[in-house]
């Protein structure tokens, strides 16, 4: 075997990824441990782009967990399961990457490739992770979650409302990031094409997540049809990967 | 994927093979085990399956083998039924329900196995239909009472994305007796060994190395490349596609035709069918087949021909012109029709692929009906949808197809699809009337959880002038039920009354029962339990007169739920549930209702502390071989008993079984399962595990489900208190979260209906008391209050638990010893009577610390085992007690006062005693009693 992608933390990483969290507290726990490991990956250590994303994701999941305890969701069982399914995809992508498997979605490989450098700005890194997670993983997580509950994705139900509540959590998390990380962001947003503008600004996450909801509904309708699902997966992966590459390109670095 | 007759040696898999064999025989407590082999195509999964099967067969295991089909529309349970057919047993349709079908299949499997252990081998599981997946979970949970191991292969490529197996495997792999083996490609050394084995020792090291690089260690590819090496062929490509295409080109025309024909067929392709598909003279056909076999494309078995590897079919598919493909499929369809095949699925597939949808239609419709007869609603729905795709707008049967498609979608949980179909149906000029459309739409909406729109639809149905009173009664009854679920008790009552009024004229019994139940519950929740009870009792009478099993089961279920639920009249609820189950059993119908009624009885018996009786009831219910949600309900009830009895192994087994069934979906039961896990972990002193189970439960509890929240919060606080008492650390953030939950309960309980409030109060008291324990306050008062509340609810277990803690707190505080000793002894007597071993042990430990003697334990171990000669043996423990009082000449009222049950309940007991002893008066009953004791 060639040198591990994780360098000296390879063993820790492999051990951590054997865990398959099945509830939200366990997801938070796993993300916390992952953060610790990621910050030890040379050469970038704490400025490793994946650590930037993971930090944001950990923050968001912790908020979700708090809201679950506070009873803020209409259908917590649904939301918990979605959170678990959602995270499982991220962990699985990491697992595939660790094993050098071709099954690792391209949209994630784009980001994972950058773990070893060159250095990348935190915001575009986090954004690339959010992109992979929302534009690619989320629709699939939605489908498996609905399948588990034997219900289906219907607009305006309890589950849709809960799902949209996550928008708030993302929106709350991101201005903080922005204050911490960037000034020129706003300027750059204006110069980039409308798609990305929509994606990031104002309706940013909301826009992307609504797209994910629609994509989820589309996947749902073909979920028994394996070739069609594979095709859909391919489409989502290559679209999201293109966006991810853009975010991590020198253009993305300008964002900061 | 078949590669029978492989001559290449099996390389680099010895360890895996041994491990799989050991895992398959290392069954869990349920007597089952499973190994799922995943890996890319060609990595050798099928070979591994075959080798393992051979080895186990040689060791005396019965082996059944089936393969899932990639034709997308396989019939329900295809691989298992196919495996059984090969052994000469057949399962066609079954009367009853989906559970009866599962039981029927299990019976066939038991018959095949006989005394032996059974190995069920399933290849290409990624193509398994939903019914097959459910059957697997049913069997693995031990519900089919078949001692079996399952060995299945899954293509890794398929598990990407949303494949339903992916989640099932993720859930199952948590169980100790389930293994998921990821089969990796061969390493360099392994590949080299394979190459040498095929091409001989003379192979240059660098050639072997090239094979490794080009094949990536995939044994299937490596083998083919090694053969080229041996035969001195220069291979230009390393993709499978090109390897095979160059091989195909070498075939003679007949063999070429055979390979293409088998590739287009549904395997196994029987010889007579192949003969009709290929219009070759017999001798040339045989020659072609021989040649195809010799070139390792096709393998022959008694039941027909298959490709050596399904990958070949995928490669060839792109090599054939669409027109050629269509002709092949048409010939297949004609051949199947000519040979009189009844395989509608296969016929439909070929006609469709032949581009002749019109001719496919009858087969598709037949396949849909066949799937419905096997309770494969998901599969049936696919066929109805396909039938719709095949029929044109103007077609006369389109309306009927739409109606079927909508209903099957509803039944398999595709609510959105059902609604879409219904809209199309509504637009048909010859579609059903406005009223029926509203009713169906409302039902579908309610099933999808869209209550608000469902309510509007029911109201529309009620407002349409064209609706008959009967239809309106149905609408009002359903609406009342919906409102009840939404907690709008007053509205539900009003609608239920409307339904009853409408149904008086020409309503069905089903509507009457539904409306009465809704009214009963709404009254009970609104503080007029007697009125509610009267209505449901009336419904039971009506159902008894109608004699229809559904009505009867439904009415009894509602009555038993009302009594054991909001009215907390546990003993009577248990009696009613058992009587209902008995009635249905005598009629030999309503298996599912019987199971559910017995589950209610068992849960009631658990709560009143009659655990041995509860165990007997569950045993009876288990003999019905329940499946799905019913099975989960019973397993949970039984597990609750094991936790109470302290039988850890049995409790673990049932929790595993529940988890297995739930891997197929079923969120409703996750919370009770977690509660039991927490309870079990606490008796084992595993506080972290208990804490984790509770935390997960709390994040998944709806804020309006106060009862579940109460149970979980209490379990959570108790876990912290026990951890503290055991000298461990209390998790402050866990306590903080738990107190948040208790606060939420306090806020919520203000708006709750009185019966709900009563239960919550009990848990709130327990929570407050546990908090005092965590804070080392040693305060007996909150415990005394909790004990009183649970006494009032006639639930001895939590009451006795509160007494134990009360005594413990008093001793710690050096308070009044006599009260504490009494409480401790009472708790001990209760624990002994129930058989609650771990609880009794804990009481004994506290007593020992406080130097208190608990008295004669055996004196309390009550009811002697009934022996056959005893005329009172048919009576339950409680019935004997009542009869003893009857013999003393007491009235029902006096008996009720003495036994702390209602006069009404005594009446029901007396009725049962009369039935069982076959007497008609109290005097006769007393005589039997006095003669026996």
pLDDT in tens, B625-637: 888 788 888 999 9
Domain ends where: B860, B891, B913?
Answer: B860
Average confidence (pLDDT) over B676-693: 92
Element (H, E) at B150: strand B148-155
Residue A116 placed within a domain? yes
pLDDT on residue B76: 78
Residue B611 placed within a domain? no
Number of compact structural domains in chain A: 1
pLDDT on residue A120: 66
B71 and B193 fall within a common domain: no
Interface residue ranges in chain A relative to chain B, Cβ cutoff 8 Å: 20, 22-26, 65, 68-71, 74-78, 80-81, 85, 88, 103, 140, 143-144, 147-154, 156-159, 219, 223-226, 229-230, 232-233
B846 and B916 fall within a common domain: no
**Which residue among B164, B666, B702 sits closest to A75, beta carbon to beta carbon?**
B702
Minimum Cα–Cα distance from A216: chain B residue: B162
- Rounded to a whole number of angstroms, the distance from the CA of A181 to the nearest CA of chain B is 31
Binary contact (B696, A226; C-beta < 8 A): no
Task: With a cut of 90, say whether residue B756 has pLDDT above it.
Answer: no
pLDDT on residue B391: 81
Binary contact (A151, B126; C-beta < 8 A): no
The C-alpha atoms of residue A164 and residue B166 are separated, in whole angstroms, by: 26
CATH number of the domain that B89 lies in? 3.40.50.300
Average confidence (pLDDT) over B232-241: 65
Residue A2 placed within a domain? no
Distances (CA, A) of B108 to B101, B112, B622, B907: 11, 6, 19, 46
Give the model's confidence band at B528: pLDDT under 50 very low, under 70 low, under 90 confident, else very high.
Answer: confident
The C-alpha atoms of residue B627 and residue B417 are separated, in whole angstroms, by: 26
**Which residue among A69, A152, A229 sits closest to B699, beta carbon to beta carbon?**
A69
Mean pLDDT of chain B: 85
Minimum Cα–Cα distance from A80: chain B residue: B700
B737 and B830 fall within a common domain: yes
Minimum Cα–Cα distance from A233: chain B residue: B161
Task: With a cut of 60, say whether residue B857 has pLDDT above it.
Answer: no
**B95-131 as b/e: b if 16+ CB within 10 A:** eebbbbbbbbbbbbbeebbeeebbbbbbbbbbbbbbb
B21 and B62 fall within a common domain: yes
Percent with pLDDT over 90 in chain B: 28
**B815-849 as b/e: b if 16+ CB within 10 A:** eeeeebbebbbbbbbbbbbbbbebbbebbbebbee
Q: Residue written as tokens 């001559």?
A: B7
B712 and B841 fall within a common domain: yes
Neighboring chain B residues of A158 at a CB cutoff of 8 Å: 449
- Rounded to a whole number of angstroms, the distance from the CA of A19 to the nearest CA of chain B is 10
**Which residue among B161, B378, B413 sits closest to A229, beta carbon to beta carbon?**
B161
B31 and B169 fall within a common domain: yes
Task: With a cut of 90, say whether residue B182 has pLDDT above it.
Answer: no
Best of B161, B180, B744 to mutate (most A CBs within 10 Å, chain A):
B161
User: What digits encode the pLDDT tens for the residues B71-124?
Assistant: 655 677 888 888 888 887 777 666 667 777 888 888 889 988 888 999 999 998
Residue A1 placed within a domain? no
Residue A215 placed within a domain? yes
Residue B573: half-sphere exposure toward Cβ, Cα within 13 Å: 25
Residue B244 placed within a domain? no
Binary contact (A77, B702; C-beta < 8 A): yes
Picking from B472, B549, B562, B547, the residue whose alpha carbon sits closest to that of residue B516 is: B562
pLDDT on residue A41: 84
pLDDT on residue B864: 45
The C-alpha atoms of residue B594 and residue A254 are separated, in whole angstroms, by: 69
B103 and B198 fall within a common domain: no
Residue A113 placed within a domain? yes
**Which residue among B158, B378, B665 sits closest to A149, beta carbon to beta carbon?**
B665
Average confidence (pLDDT) over B840-847: 93
Binary contact (B161, A140; C-beta < 8 A): yes
Neighboring chain A residues of B700 at a CB cutoff of 8 Å: 23, 68, 76-77, 80-81
Number of compact structural domains in chain B: 4
Q: For residue B588, which phi and psi values (nearest 5 degrees)?
A: 70, 30
pLDDT on residue B94: 64
Domain ends where: B808, B828, B860?
Answer: B860
DSSP B96: S
Give the model's confidence band at B237: pLDDT under 50 very low, under 70 low, under 90 confident, else very high.
Answer: low
Binary contact (A70, B162; C-beta < 8 A): no
Which has the higher per-residue pLDDT, B534 or A198?
Answer: B534
Domain ends where: B811, B828, B860?
Answer: B860
Query: What range does the domain containing A109 cover?
Result: 7-254
B193 touching A (Cβ < 8 Å):
no
B27 and B166 fall within a common domain: yes
Neighboring chain A residues of B170 at a CB cutoff of 8 Å: 20, 88
B907 touching A (Cβ < 8 Å):
no
Average confidence (pLDDT) over B359-367: 86
Neighboring chain A residues of B413 at a CB cutoff of 8 Å: 150-152
B32 and B162 fall within a common domain: yes
Average confidence (pLDDT) over B31-59: 90
Give the model's confidence band at B680: pLDDT under 50 very low, under 70 low, under 90 confident, else very high.
Answer: very high
Binary contact (A77, B414; C-beta < 8 A): no
For the record, the structure tokens of B385 come out as 């949808």
B166 and B18 fall within a common domain: yes
pLDDT on residue B63: 92
B132 and B209 fall within a common domain: no
User: What digits encode the pLDDT tens for the residues B216-230?
Assistant: 788 888 888 888 788
B744 touching A (Cβ < 8 Å):
yes
Give the model's confidence band at B666: pLDDT under 50 very low, under 70 low, under 90 confident, else very high.
Answer: low
pLDDT on residue A209: 57
Which has the higher per-residue pLDDT, B73 or B921?
Answer: B921
Binary contact (B692, A24; C-beta < 8 A): no
- ipTM over 0.85? The verdict is no
Neighboring chain A residues of B741 at a CB cutoff of 8 Å: 69, 71
Task: With a cut of 60, say whether residue B439 has pLDDT above it.
Answer: yes
Neighboring chain B residues of A230 at a CB cutoff of 8 Å: 160-161
The C-alpha atoms of residue B501 and residue B507 are separated, in whole angstroms, by: 9
Query: What range does the domain containing B890 cover?
Result: 877-932
CATH number of the domain that B915 lies in? 1.10.10.10
B831 and B902 fall within a common domain: no
Q: Which residues have C-beta within 8 Å of that of residue B535, sequence separation ≥ 6?
A: B516, B519, B520, B523
What's B597-656 look like in SS3?
HHHHHHHHHHHCCCHHHHHHHHHHHHCCCCCHHHHHHHHHHHHHHHHHHCCHHHHHHHHH
Torsion B363-B367-B373-B378 (CA) sign:
negative
């Amino acid at each position: 075997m060639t040198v591990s992608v994780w360098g000296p933390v390879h063993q820790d990483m492999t051990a951590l990824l054997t865990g398959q969290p099945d509830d939200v507290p366990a997801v938070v726990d796993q993300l916390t441990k992952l953060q610790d490991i990621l910050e030890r990956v040379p050469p970038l250590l704490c400025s490793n782009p994946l650590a930037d994303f993971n930090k944001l994701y950990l923050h968001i999941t912790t908020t979700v967990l708090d809201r679950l305890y506070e009873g803020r969701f209409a259908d917590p069982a649904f939301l918990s399961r979605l959170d678990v399914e959602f995270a499982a995809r991220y962990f699985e992508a990491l697992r595939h990457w660790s094993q050098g498997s071709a099954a690792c979605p391209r949209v994630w490989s784009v980001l994972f490739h950058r773990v070893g450098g060159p250095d990348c700005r935190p915001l575009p890194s986090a954004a690339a992770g959010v992109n992979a997670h929302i534009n690619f993983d989320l629709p699939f997580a939605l489908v498996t979650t609905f399948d588990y509950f034997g219900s289906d994705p219907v607009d305006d139900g309890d589950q849709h409302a809960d799902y949209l509540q996550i928008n708030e959590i993302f929106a709350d998390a991101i201005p903080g990031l922005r204050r911490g990380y960037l000034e020129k962001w706003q300027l750059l947003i204006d110069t980039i094409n409308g798609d990305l503008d929509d994606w990031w600004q104002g309706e940013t996450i909301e826009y992307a997540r609504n797209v994910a909801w629609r994509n989820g509904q589309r996947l749902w309708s073909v979920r028994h049809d394996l070739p069609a699902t594979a095709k859909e997966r391919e489409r989502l992966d290559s679209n999201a990967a293109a966006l991810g590459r853009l975010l991590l390109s020198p253009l993305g670095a300008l964002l900061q | 994927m078949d590669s029978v007759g492989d001559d290449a040696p099996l390389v680099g898999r010895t360890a895996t093979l041994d491990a799989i064999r050991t895992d398959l025989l290392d069954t869990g407590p349920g007597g089952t085990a499973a190994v799922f082999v995943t890996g890319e195509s060609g990595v050798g999964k099928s070979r591994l399956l075959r080798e393992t099967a051979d080895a186990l067969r040689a060791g005396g295991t019965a082996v059944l083998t089936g393969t899932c089909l990639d034709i997308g529309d396989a019939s329900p349970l295809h691989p298992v039924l196919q495996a059984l057919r090969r052994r000469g047993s057949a399962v066609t349709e079954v009367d009853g329900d989906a559970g009866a079908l599962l039981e029927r299949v299990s019976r066939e499997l038991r018959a095949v196995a006989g005394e032996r252990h059974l190995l069920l081998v399933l290849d290409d599981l990624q193509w398994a239909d939903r019914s097959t997946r459910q059957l697997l979970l049913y069997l693995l949970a031990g519900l089919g009472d078949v001692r079996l191991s399952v060995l299945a292969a899954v293509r890794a490529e398929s598990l990407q994305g949303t494949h339903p197996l992916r989640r099932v495997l993720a859930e199952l792999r948590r169980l100790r007796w389930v293994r998921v083996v990821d089969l990796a490609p061969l390493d360099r050394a392994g590949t080299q060994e394979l190459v040498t084995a095929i091409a001989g020792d003379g192979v240059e090291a660098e050639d072997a190395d090239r094979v490794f690089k080009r094949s990536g260690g995939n044994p299937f590819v490596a083998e083919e490349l090694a053969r080229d090496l041996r035969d001195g062929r220069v291979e230009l490509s390393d993709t499978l596609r090109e390897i095979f295409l160059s091989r195909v080109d070498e075939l003679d025309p007949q063999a070429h035709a055979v390979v293409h024909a088998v590739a287009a067929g549904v395997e196994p392709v029987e010889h007579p069918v192949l003969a009709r598909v290929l219009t070759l003279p017999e001798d040339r056909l045989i020659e072609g087949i021989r040649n195809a076999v010799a070139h390792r494309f096709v393998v022959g078995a008694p039941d027909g021909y298959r490709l050596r590897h399904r990958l070949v079919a995928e490669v060839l598919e792109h090599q054939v012109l669409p027109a050629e493909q269509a002709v092949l499929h048409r010939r297949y369809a004609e051949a199947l029709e000519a040979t009189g095949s009844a395989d509608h699925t296969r016929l439909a597939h070929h006609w469709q692929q032949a581009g002749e949808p019109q001719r496919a239609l009858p087969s598709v419709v037949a396949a849909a009906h066949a799937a419905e007869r096997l309770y494969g609603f998901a599969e049936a729905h696919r066929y109805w949808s396909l039938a719709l795709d095949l029929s044109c707008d103007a077609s006369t049967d389109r309306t009927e197809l739409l109606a079927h498609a909508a209903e099957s979608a509803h039944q398999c949980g595709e609510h959105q699809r059902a609604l879409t179909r219904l809209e199309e149906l509504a637009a048909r000029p010859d579609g059903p009337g406005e009223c029926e459309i509203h009713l169906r739409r409302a039902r579908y909406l309610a099933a999808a959880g869209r209550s608000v729109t469902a309510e509007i639809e029911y109201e529309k149905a009620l407002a349409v002038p064209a609706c008959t009173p009967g239809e309106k009664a149905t609408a009002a009854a359903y609406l009342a039920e919906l409102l009840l679920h939404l907690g709008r008790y007053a509205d539900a009552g009003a609608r239920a009354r409307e339904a009853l009024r409408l149904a008086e004229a020409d309503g069905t019994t089903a509507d009457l029962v539904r409306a009465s139940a809704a009214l009963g519950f709404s009254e009970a929740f609104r503080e007029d339990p007697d009125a509610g009870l009267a209505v449901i009792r009336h419904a039971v009478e009506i159902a008894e007169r109608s004699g229809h099993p559904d009505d009867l089961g439904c009415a009894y279920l509602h009555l038993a739920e009302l009594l054991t639920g909001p009215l907390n009249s546990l003993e009577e609820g248990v009696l009613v549930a058992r009587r209902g189950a008995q009635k249905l059993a005598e009629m030999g119908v309503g298996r599912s209702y019987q199971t559910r009624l017995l589950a209610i009885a068992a849960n009631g018996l658990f709560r009143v502390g009659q655990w041995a009786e509860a165990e007997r009831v569950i045993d009876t219910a288990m003999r019905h071989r329940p499946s799905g949600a019913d099975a989960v309900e019973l397993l949970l009830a039984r597990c609750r008993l094991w936790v109470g009895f302290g039988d850890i192994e049995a409790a673990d087994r049932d929790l595993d079984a529940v988890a297995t069934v739930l891997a197929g979906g079923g969120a409703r039961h996750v919370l009770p399962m977690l509660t039991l896990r927490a309870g079990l972990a606490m008796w084992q002193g595993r506080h972290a595990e208990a804490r984790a189970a509770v935390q997960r439960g709390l994040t998944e509890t709806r804020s309006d489900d106060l009862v579940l929240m109460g149970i979980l919060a209490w379990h959570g606080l108790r876990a912290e208190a026990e951890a503290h008492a055991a000298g461990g650390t209390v998790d402050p953030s866990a306590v903080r979260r738990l107190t948040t939950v208790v606060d939420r309960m306090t806020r919520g309980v203000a708006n709750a209906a009185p019966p709900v409030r009563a239960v919550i109060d009990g848990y709130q008291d327990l929570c407050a008391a546990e908090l005092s324990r965590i804070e080392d306050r040693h305060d007996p008062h909150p415990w005394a209050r909790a004990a009183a509340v649970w006494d009032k609810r006639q639930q001895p277990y939590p009451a006795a638990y509160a007494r134990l803690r009360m005594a413990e707190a008093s001793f710690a505080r050096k308070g009044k010893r006599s009260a504490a000793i009494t409480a401790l002894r009472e708790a001990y007597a209760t624990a002994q009577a129930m058989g609650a071993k771990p609880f009794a042990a804990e009481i004994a430990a506290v007593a020992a610390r406080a130097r208190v003697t608990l008295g004669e334990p055996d004196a309390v171990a009550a009811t002697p085992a009934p022996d056959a000669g005893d005329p009172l043996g048919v009576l339950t423990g409680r019935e004997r007690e009542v009869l003893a009082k009857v013999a003393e000449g007491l009235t029902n009222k006096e008996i009720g006062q003495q036994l702390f049950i209602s006069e009404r309940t005594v009446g029901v007991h007396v009725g049962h005693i009369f039935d069982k002893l076959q007497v008609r008066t109290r005097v006769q009953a007393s005589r039997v009693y006095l003669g026996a004791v």
